[in-house]
Structure 1
């Protein structure tokens, strides 16, 4: 993060990112647990696996999109 935000803001944003993640997990865990109590456990696990797979696919597509953009930029500069 230092390369993106510099030596001053990099550690600050990195700490904020970890803290924000922890707060979101602490807040949303009881809410999601109470919402999923009425469903069968295997259905909840299957839904979680599906959401995990979708998130990996989106991240993979985003990385390929960014790499393609960098490649195009490099090729246009030559």
Structure 2
């Protein structure tokens, strides 16, 4: 498989998820306006990262299906 690098979209998604978890814990202990604003920002980051990654996931699924087809053809040739 050709996994070249982690794209920036994935980093945005992961940073949003980590920030959302952290600010959720903070908001449960001491809910302030600042933590709720950060929670909203991190949730937007997660959503944007998710929608940016959808085409990348679709492309990866297509590559995997092509690889599995080529492996099946090689087995049939033997």
Do these two structures clear the TM 0.5 threshold for a shared fold by scoring above it?
A: no
| Shorter-chain TM-score tier | 0.3 to 0.5
Bigger relative contact order, structure 1 or 2 (CA pairs below 8 A, ≥6 apart): 2
TM-score (norm 1): 0.41
TM-score (norm 2): 0.41
Whichever structure has more helix as a proportion of its residues is 1
